[in-house]
Amino acid sequence: MSDPSRLEARAVSLAYDGTTVVPELSVAIPPGSFTVIIGPNACGKSTLLRGLSRLLAPAAGSVVLDGRDISSYPVKEVARRLGLLPQSALAPDGITVADLVGRGRYPHQSLLRQWSSADEIAVKEALDATGTADLSTRPVDALSGGQRQRVWVAMVLAQQTDLLLLDEPTTYLDVAHQVELMELFAELNARGRTVVAVLHDLNHAARYASHIIAMRDGRIVAEGTPREVITSARVEEVYGLPNVVIDDPVTGGPLVVPLRGGAFAARAAQAAAELDA
């Protein structure tokens, strides 16, 4: 049908401090897709992303990148093929946007080859792609949340990788900035990058993803196109949220609408009554 997957997990077990978070999971990221991993808190979706990007070594099984076990590559080589934007990135005090984006060129540099015109071009392209070129001289800590997040994305783009992994890139942003970033990712995907993102927002996933992986308790519950995965029954199974799924008036895909009333409302009414008493 299509090219083989470039990034797969084969019977991978991931654990923190001896506690297994993801037991024996296998998944293949479809090449050229916009894959979104969804699931409730603590379902292991960030852990899976960390395992796929080599940040977390599997306790069992293997992660395969371009046909080889990911741990057999030199670390910089992995960084040239796979870019990850983790949740916890720190910007040094006072660093400018251009400098921070420039740090993304590290995997392409070495002691003998410190900074070249290729690096310069990559930074420029990354800034242009994220619309942050006019911010390049400003210190990162003076930017708004939305601008800062775009700068981090630019940094990962400067790595010039075909695979882009994003761990909750839109959390803490207002809705306009969230949409802005999702459109950017969709654009990057349309131009050939494989994007894998962990998202909280179901409807973002429904609108932008070409492939959805739904997780719960460290296991994959469902996998497929948004139409296939995002059904009312499935959403309730994964999140425990009573809902209806209607057709999105803009895209035609599924749109999840939580129900009012029901078990949640009953619990809330009781709690409020207890507070008043």
Partner 1 sequence: MTSVVPPRVSDTAPGSARIGRTAIGTLVLVAVLAVSVALSLMIGANPLPWHTVWASLTGSGTPDTDFVVQGLRVPRTIAGLVAGAALGVAGALMQAFSRNPLADPGILGVNAGAAFAVALTVALFGIQSSLLLVWPAFLGALVVTVAVALVGSSGRGPADPIRLTLAGVAVGAVLSGITSGMMLSNPDAFDLMRGWNAGSLLGRGVDLILPVVPFIAVGLAVAFVLGRPLNALALGDDLARAQGLPVGAVRVASIAAITVLAGAATALVGPLSFVGLMVPHVVRWIVGPDQRRILPLSALAAPIVVLLADVLGRVIIAPAEVPAGIVTAFVGAPVLIALARRRKASAL
Partner 2 sequence: MTAVDVGYRRVRVGTLPVRARSLVVGAAVLVAVVVLAVFSLGWGTYPVAPDAVVRTLLGGGDALDTTVVVGWRLPRVLAAVTLGALLAIAGALFQTVTRNPLASPDILGLSNGAFTGMLLTLVFVSGSWPARAGGALIGCLVASVVIWFLSYRGGVQGFRLIVVGIGVSAMLASLNTWMLLQIELETAMFASAWGHGSLNGVTGDALGGVLLCAAPFAIAAFALVPALRQLELGDDMAAASGVRPHLVRTLALLAGVVLVAAATAIAGPIAFVALAAPQIARRLARTPSLSLALSALVGALLLLGSDAVAQHVLPVTLPVGVVTVSVGGAYLIVMIVTEIRRRV
274 belongs to the binding site for partner 1 (CB under 8 A): no
Which of partner 2, partner 1, none has residue 216 at its interface (CB below 5 to 8 Å by kind)? none
233 belongs to the binding site for partner 1 (CB under 8 A): no
Output the six-digit token pair for 55: 């940040």
Output the six-digit token pair for 104: 């993304």
Q: Is 92 or 262 the residue whose CB approaches partner 1 more closely? A: 92
Q: Choose the stretch contacting partner 1; rule: CB under 8 A; options: 24-32, 63-71, 90-98, 108-116.
A: 90-98
CB 197 within 8 A of CB 39: no
Rg for the chain (alpha carbons), in Å?
A: 20
**Separation of alpha carbons 118 and 144, rounded Å:** 29
Report the interface residues with partner 2, using CB under 8 A. Answer: 50, 53-55, 75-80, 83-96, 98-99, 102-104, 106-107, 109, 111, 113-117, 120-121, 123-124, 127, 133, 136-138, 156, 159
CB 37 within 8 A of CB 48: yes
Residue whose C-alpha is closest to residue 168's, from 144, 189, 190, 185: 185
Q: Choose the stretch contacting partner 1; rule: CB under 8 A; options: 21-29, 42-50, 91-99, 242-250.
A: 91-99
Output the six-digit token pair for 249: 């008036």
CB 259, min distance to partner 1, A: 33
91 belongs to the binding site for partner 1 (CB under 8 A): yes
User: Which of 1, 3, 41, 90 touches partner 1 by CB under 8 A?
Assistant: 90
92 belongs to the binding site for partner 1 (CB under 8 A): yes
Which of partner 2, partner 1, none has residue 176 at its interface (CB below 5 to 8 Å by kind)? none
Residues 6+ apart with CB under 8 A from 258: 241, 242, 243
**Separation of alpha carbons 115 and 121, rounded Å:** 11
